[in-house]
Structures are given as structure tokens and as C-alpha cells.
Structure 1
Amino acid sequence: VINQGTVNIKTSSYTDCNAVLKGLQPVFQEQGMTETIHNWEDHGYLATYINKNGSFSNLRIYPHGLVLVDLQSYSDDMNGRDEIDHLLNKIEERMKELFHSSFKRIKRLPAIMRGEAIDRYWPTADGRLVEYDIDEVVYDEDSSYQNIKILHSKQFGNILILSGDVNLAESDLAYTQAIMGSGKEDFTGKEVLILGGGDGGILYEIVKLKPKMVTMLTSNIDQMVIDGCRKFMRKTCGDVLDNLKGECYQVLIEDCIPVLKRYAKEGRMFDYVINDLTAVPISTSPEEDSTWEFLRLILDLSMKVLKHDGKYFTQGNCVNLTEALTLYEEQLGRLYCPVEFSKETVCVPSYMELWVFYTIWKTRTE
């Protein structure tokens, strides 16, 4: 395991790069580290320090008042992290001595663990890196469609990750409730169509509400996802994935587009359509991105099988992706029939970000 520590130091005035270099040299020399220096005259210094045990440090000094220190240490126990913490403490103490009058800010980042057997770093939808408290790989398999991981988090429970995308954790009932209308709908005796939802969460919650029939129609969510969730996401799906058919539900593992086209041709209609296939794409080129084309097609087909007074629920994306969400709303004005929509923002625990959900319905006319 590689332990990587980082500290950023900001002073309030011009930095004497040579003074910083000479001031910090004894700190590294105490560790028995050899030194290599690059000097760019008016652009500061880069100094590299290497230890016999394989650890090393990069010291970058900028003349405009910024000093960056990165350290790496290899270890299969806590010694590597302790070594980094000790050295960073020494550097901070020395910098405060050198710049006590013009010292402005110091920021030490948590150590990054690289090369671990368990990957704990996953990006948010808007590109920020989140470190999860992952302590176990529960399930990790490649299907014909995607990589399927279920990782255990101490605070979120088991988390389903499909091809690097955090989908749902056992803690994320808020997501399931939001994509079902946040408790405002009466599903009793209703016909419901779920698109996607391979984790079984939506199906499990709706079956509790006594619908007439729920059809869950997957799209490229293969049997391995359902098998993995049935075994390791039972707090989310309960027992509904134990059998693909129950008293008031059926799960069809088929491409949803041909089935939706067939339903439309047959005149089959639903009170609710819940689309849990994919989030609004980050791409800002709807005409060129195949995911946008897929979303538009699903929207049009869903409207064709949605009753006139029915509702369509779907996720959007994280609240920070305002441009992508605006583009999605523009697509709603290009469907074969006029629609209206509302949206709400919900905090999904394992996403560690606010998420936008849409309710869409056909424009009511006399």
C-alpha cells in the first residue's frame, strides 16, 4: 500500500524561495533523505528527497507565496502513515518558525491510500473525489455488460457499484422514496411499470403498497446484477428478487425498448411509469450523445404507455450539474405530446450530494 500525504502552505507575501529551501533542508536530512534540486530562477524550486526505504517527497516552492509538499511511503501496516505524519508535523513547525509574521494558511489533506486491495475512492457525479469507509469487498464480478461490485461501508451498508458508478446503498431509502413520488401517491390497485431498478429497491417498496400489478422491465441489467443484489442487498430488496414473479409483480429481463414498443402497439397503459435506467448525462451535446438519444426514446415510449392522468417518475442528476439538467428539461418540450413537470431535490446518503428527481405528466386538456 502506498500512503500519500499532502500539505499546502500559503503565506501572505512574496516568498524567499531560497530561504524556504534552506529552512526545510534539515527536516529532510534528519530522515536520512538524499536531495535533488531544480531551480527555475524566477519560478521557484522543485526539490526531491529520497529515503533508503523507498519513501520520497516532492517540495515545490513558488515565489508568490505558496509551498506544496507531497510525500509517499510504501507500507503494509500503519508505519507508512505514521512516517508521513511525523515528517509533515516537522515541516509545519519549521514553516511557522520561518514565516511567523506572514504565515497565512496551512492545509493538510488526509492521507491517500493507493494500491489497496479494497478501493475506497469513488467520484461524485460532478467529479469530486469521495473517500468511503469501505472495509470489505462483498461481491465483484464481470458480466457481459458491466463490472458489478458490492462493497460494504461502515455507515452506508452494502453499496452497489456498476462499472465504477455508485448506484445505490442499503442506506439510500431516500432515493427510492423520491423516485416513487415522495409518499404523495396512492399505488393501491394501480398498474405500475418500472424501467431498470435491478437492485430491487423500488419493486420492494411498491409491492408493500398493494398495487394491482407491477411490471419491472430491465434494460441491459443482466441476471448477475439481480443475483448479486438478491444475496447481498437484502436490506434494499427484501425477498422480491427471490422469485421473478409474485402475486402482484413480474420481473422481465429483456431489452425494454422492444417491449415498450409492443406495449404501445397493443394499447397497454399504466398509471405510473418509474424510470430508473440512467441519470441525465453530463454531456452538453444532446444531439451527439447516444445516452441523450436513449433518454428521449424512453421518454417518448413511456408517454405512449402512460395513462392520460398517469405520472412518470425519474431521477435527474446531482444538483450541481445545472446545465445538463436544463438540457433535460428542454428535451421534455420536444416529445410527441405536450407534458408538464415538477422536480424536487433530495439528499441521497451514499451519494454525499443533493440529487434532483422529476415528476412528469401529460398536459391536461379539456
Structure 2
Amino acid sequence: MAPLTHPSIIDGWFREISSQWPGQAMTLRVNKILHHEKSLYQDVLVFESATYGNVLVLDGVIQCTERDEFSYQEMIAHLPLASHPNPKKVLVIGGGDGGVVREVLKHSSVESVVLCDIDEAVIRVSKTYLPHMSSLLSTDRVTVHIGDGFKFLAENTSSFDVIITDSSDPVGPAASLFQKPYFQLIHDALNEGGHMSAQGECMWLHLPLLGELRATTKSIFKTVEYAFTTIPTYPSGQIGFTMAAKGSGIDLKTPRRQVPNCRYYNESVHRAAFVLPEFVRAHFEEGKNILPLLQAQPEEGKQKKILLLGSGFVARPCAEYIVRNLNNSLTIACRTLKSAEELAEGLANTSAISLDASDSTALEKAVAAHDLVISLIPYTHHATVIKAAIKGKTHVVTTSYVSPAMRELDAEAKAAGIVVMNEIGLDPGIDHLYAVKTIGEVHEKGGKIKQFSSYCCGLPAPECCDNPLGYKFSWSSRGVLLALLNNASYLEHGQRRDVAGTELMHHAKPYYITPAFAFVAYPNRDSVPFREFYDIPEAELVVRGTLRYQGFPEFVAALVKLGWLDMTEKAWLNDSLTWAEVTAKSSGAKDASEASLIPHVISLCQFPNEAEQERIIAGMRWIGLFSQEKVKARAGNLLDTLCAQLETLMKYEEGERDLVMLQHKFVVKWKDGKKDVITSTLEKYGEPGGYSAMARTVGIPCGIAVQLVLDGTIKTPGILAPYTKEICDPLREVLEREGLGMIEKTL
């Protein structure tokens, strides 16, 4: 077997390079790589180092080493436990390596410990390569729960004496563990007088974040402190802990008992851990930053100017990625200056302007003043933006499909020498990168892709899925409903299949990804050209489509039969009518009473069984289709009127999160006749109170493409989309460093 490799290990040295600690990096000499995998959530690496023993690395960041892990594990555990009068029930969130649990069990008063970690891979790998940390996970006092900490906390209020959060850094999904909704859940899950500790980053690197954490926890807990420890292999050699207690007058700084068998912790160290350096005290108590300001400067001659058009939900993650590079100067342009200023707030090297994209003179002037323009405005404006870019010889990046109007500008873009990079979000975007990867690898080995299917969705996370349709709106409700009426085409048995929009929901079929989800899938748009785009002429099945939770298609099909997705203007539709009267009129019922409407709906929809009938009728009642309340007619048609109602009923509430699921499935036939089924899967969750998964999975790939165009990595002039290895490989490499890669498996 060939020796394992990893992109963070070069010439025998591991390098921990991250935007979380710009301008510095930990390096360790590597004897050999012991394990590497991409779990459903992160990149998992274990290597044997020359001087620190075995090292666990998640998404490129050191989590623990055999030599120094004890200083972190002991302090995050014993600070809250030793100061508690009688800790019996303890919850550890994260910490799948088992180190924190090992320390918790040193307290004889502890009767039970629950370890809740979302990634089983960390627990499994640690049992093999870090047994001195994980060996106690199988003891009687310990229960291991594989799952989401948010959901577990919400289901266990007033249940624990101590809660310890051993999290990674606040990047990607872990960012939600540093925000108010999470700390509120911890507060509610603690018993009165309970203590909590949480990984609190580094005072040398994250002082503004620590101030925010302190303010957040003080808004929830009556007792809040900050402590720290030293550890050589963590950034800047130091790591802190956010400490809090549920109750006033509680002393976290004084230990109540000795803790046996410790290498770092003792009673004196406990007290000293809360003594803060002056620069930290000044920031916490006076709001002053007295550290020397030594901000890195842009490199001479490498500065680039970027214009971002639009202020939608994906724009901020894209903008944040772009301004990580100090050489980039960003201008955000929106129709209103206020929108642009709100989006630009807090971003380095960023300015805001007002710009109407329909004003061709103003657009051309703004575009010509920049090296690259990002068009995140509606796709109908992209051709206009590209024409302005051709005049100004300015590169372009969009997340949208290449339209015929855009394609017609290919020759002019080439003549101008500009790159127009498109289809680089989630779907389209990430899906292309991994389709091209797997197809290329199969072809290189002499195999053939006999079937290719790709399905994607943006849905409420299961715990937030609390309405009859199993859906919530993070963007235009009208766009969502209109997409349900689009015609679709795909290849099956080598033949083109066309589906009328009115019949689309009847083509939905159950789609299995894992036992945790009940999905259905149906085709979306025209999949037929992708046999050519992906260079798979041998494929007999080519379909790209949409995932929804089960029950959605049948509900939508019923709404279609009642006429509620009709876009044609209705002269009779006005605000004097009740919802029941509109439903009766649109469906051809003679009577608007609920007693008459429901039998009419049942007759019209022909539900397959009584249970389905009850479910959908109850959902219609929930929407209000049988109610005596007056409608608020919108745009004179039924679809827009329904949109207005659904927008109020099906919005994301504070603290809720979304789910992005994307899966490719390849049926491969090899030279020897053997068949394999290969899957590539992306499962990402939004951050409660932070960015949605959809915003990150669209915005960050777009930002990556911008940087690669500016760097000259993507340099072929013309109208481009990521359908080639030359474009996809560098995009995918950077994407994986951001934790947004797809996980490949052979079934």
C-alpha cells in the first residue's frame, strides 16, 4: 500500500496555516501519517510526530497531541467541576477524543457523564490512535451520544450540574457554538447553580471576539468569568475558557476540593487561571485595546479592486472571503446606499456606493474602475453586466447558469481578454466540481459512467421542520413556487424524457441518502446537455434534480389542483373575499363553507388513502385556505396571494438553522464488467443566529473563484463554467480547506 499523504504535510513537516491566526503557523516534524479520512463533517488526520507523539488534526487545525493535551483537558474540566459544590451530572459537548471525559471522571461525586459529539469519526479514530484519552468512554458512568449538541440541549432542560463545550474554532458550523442561542440553550439545560465552561479562543489572537463572548454570556448568566491555560501546540501557546454559572454570587475562582492525578492543574493554578494580563483586563472592563497595532500591509503592486453588485443573503460570506486577502479592495454596490453600507459594515478595505444596474452609463463607469465585478443581482441583468465588463476589460464572476444571452457574448469576452466565470455557487457550483472529479477519475481508469444522478436541496434542519410542507423560505417565495411549475427534461435508458411543469410533483420518488432523512427527489430544469458538458456520452441515465422532505410533492400537487399556483390575473380576486371564498372560486366549488369545501377538495384531489387525506387537509387548514379571514390579494393572481400568506407562516425564526444536502450518484462499469456505485455527498447546517448553510455554500465558492481569477489561476478568456479539470481542481482544493468538500464513498 502506498504511504498516506495530506496537503498540509510537505517535506515531512505539518503546517497549521489558517486565517484564524494570520501571519503565523505551527509546524511539527512528521514521522508518518497514521490515518486520514473525510468524515461527513470534517477532514480527519492523525500523524505520528517526532516530538509530540500522536497528533489529531481536524480541518487542518491541531486538536490535541499526546505530549501536551493534559493542560487543556484538565483545565477546561476541573475549573468548573472543582468549584462546584457537588457535581453529579455532567454533559460534554464535542470532545470526541475523550480527554475531557477522562478528567471529569476524576471527580468521585460525578454519577453520570454524557458525551455528545456530532462526528462519530473523531470518537472512532481516537479510540485507535489516542487510547490514553478515549479509553474511559466505554465505562459505566459514561453515555456516548452521536448527534447535534443544539438538539440535545433543547431536549434536556434543567438536567446537568456542569456543561463543558470542547469545540473547535469559530469557523463554519462551529461558529454557532460561540453565539447567543447556544449559550441560552446551555443556561436552560443547567440545574440552578450549575457551572459551564467553553473553549474560549486565544487572548493574543481573538481579543475582540472574547469581548463579544463576554458580553453575550453576561446577557444570559449572572456569573461570568474568563480563564486561560498554556499549551505549546495551540496558536500563540495559549487557550482560554469562557466560564459561567447559573446563579448570582457563585465563586468560580476558588476550588472546593483537590483533584487527584493531575499533571498541570492544582489549586494554585486554578486561582491563577483567572488573573488576566492588563491588556485583557483593559479590553474587558474599559473597552480599550492597548496591544501594539501591527497590521499587515498589502503587497506593493498586487492590489486588486473588486466590485460586488447585490446585497442578497449570499453576498456577505462572499465579501468576507474576498477581504481576507489584504491585497483586495472591495466596493459593494446596491440600488440603495443604505443596503450597501449595511453589507459593508465591519469589513476591512471595503466601501459602499449606490448603483442602479439598469443605468448603463453608471454601470459601465463603475465596472471599468475595477479589476473584477461580481454579479449577484438577478440573472436577467448578467448579460448587461458582462457587456459593461467587455468595454472596461474587467473580469466577471457569477453564481448563475450561463444563459443564451450570456453565451452569445463569448466571442466578445475573448476578444476583450476577460474571464467571465459562472456557475460557481452550490448548485450550480460545488456540484460541478465533484462531478468532473469523479467522472475524470473513472475515465482515467478505463471505466464508464452508465448512470449519473445529482440531487440538491436547501431545507430547514430536521429539528426546525415544523410545518406541513417541511419547507421554509430563505429567499423569494415566488421563485420557490415558480420553480415547482418549471418543465424538466432528463435522459433515461438513453432517451430524452420531458416532464410538464404541472406534472412535476407526480414524478417525485423516495430518495435514500441515510436512515436519518426521508427525502423525495424530482427532476429540475434540463439535464440533457450535461451528458455533453460532463463528457459522458456513454451515460444512459443523466438527471439533476431537487430534494424535498417526503410529503411535500403531494401537498404541492393538491395546491396545483385547487388552482393556487395559477399566475394568470383574476379580475374577481380582491381583498373583500375570504380565503374560503377564493379557494371555492379557484377550485370550482359551489359553496365556500368548510363543510362543503372539504368534500369538494377530497373529490378533486383523489387522495390515495385516508391518512394522506387527513394530513393534506390539515395542512390546508393550517395555511388558512378554508378560513373566513379576508385575503390580502397580491398582484391580482392566486400564486402571489398564496406567496404572501406562506411568507408569514414559513419563515425561519430566530435561532433556527437550515440544511444543505447535495449528493451525486454514479453507476460505474469497469473494463472487467464489474459495477460500482459511487456517491459524493455534502451535508451542511447553518449557524443559528449566523450564516445559513445556503449562504456559505453559495457565497464562499463564489469568493474562491474571484480570488483564483485575480491570481491568474483561472485565466482562459471567454464565458466559462466549471466543466473542466483545469478549472475544477484548483477551485476544489481551496473549497476543501474551507470545510465545504463533498465526501466520496463506494457503496
TM-score when scaled to structure 1? Answer: 0.59
Q: 1:71-220 counterparts in 2 under 5 A? A: 116=10, 118-123=12-17, 125-127=20-22, 128-171=24-67, 172-182=69-79, 184-185=82-83, 190-210=88-108, 211-218=110-117, 220=118
Q: 1: CA distance between counterparts of 2:113 and 2:219? A: 28
Aligned to 1:273: 163
Q: Identity of counterpart residues, as a percentage?
A: 21
Please, which runs of 5 or more residues in structure 1 have no aligned partner?
1-113, 284-288
CA, structure 1 residues 142+118, in 2 after alignment: closer, same or farther (shift >3 Å)? farther
Residues 133-173 of structure 1, C-alpha deviation per residue, up to 9 Å, x if partnerless? 22211111111211100122222211111111111112210
Aligned to 2:384: none
Q: 1: CA distance between counterparts of 2:13 and 2:239? A: 24
Q: Is the 8 A contact 1:187 1:206 kept in 2?
A: no
Superposed CA RMSD in Å reads: 2.8
More strand by share: 1
Larger radius of gyration: 2
Residue 365 of structure 1: CA displacement? Answer: 7.2
1:259 to 152, 166, 171: 152
Residue 364 of structure 1: CA displacement? Answer: 1.8
Bigger mean CA offset, 160-169 vs 119-128: 119-128
Q: 2: CA distance between counterparts of 1:253 and 1:322? A: 32
Q: Is the 8 A contact 1:126 1:318 kept in 2?
A: no
CA, structure 1 residues 282+149, in 2 after alignment: closer, same or farther (shift >3 Å)? closer
The SS at the match of 1:263 is: coil
Q: 2: CA distance between counterparts of 1:115 and 1:184? A: 40
Matched, 1:308 2:192: yes
TM-score when scaled to structure 2? Answer: 0.30
1:229 to 126, 139, 159: 126
The SS at the match of 2:93 is: strand
Q: 1: CA distance between counterparts of 2:44 and 2:9? A: 20
Residues 106-150 of structure 1, C-alpha deviation per residue, up to 9 Å, x if partnerless? xxxxxxxx9736451113742312221222111111112111001
The SS at the match of 2:97 is: coil
CA, structure 1 residues 154+339, in 2 after alignment: closer, same or farther (shift >3 Å)? farther
More helix by share: 2
Residues 276-299 of structure 1, C-alpha deviation per residue, up to 9 Å, x if partnerless? 1234x379xxxxx98257632221
Residue 196 of structure 1: CA displacement? Answer: 0.8
1:326 to 194, 211, 224: 211
Q: Is the 8 A contact 1:215 1:250 kept in 2?
A: yes
Q: 1: CA distance between counterparts of 2:13 and 2:37? A: 15
Q: 1: CA distance between counterparts of 2:70 and 2:103? A: 9
**What one-letter code is carried by the residue in structure 1 that aligns with 2:78?**
G
Aligned to 1:247: 140
Residue 206 of structure 1: CA displacement? Answer: 1.5
**What one-letter code is carried by the residue in structure 2 that aligns with 1:230?**
K
Q: Is the 8 A contact 2:91 2:160 kept in 1?
A: yes
Q: 1:21-100 counterparts in 2 under 5 A? A: none
Aligned to 1:93: none
The SS at the match of 1:209 is: coil
Residues 206-248 of structure 1, C-alpha deviation per residue, up to 9 Å, x if partnerless? 1232311111111x3x2221111000011322x224x3xx321
Q: 2: CA distance between counterparts of 1:250 and 1:348? A: 28
Aligned to 1:350: 233
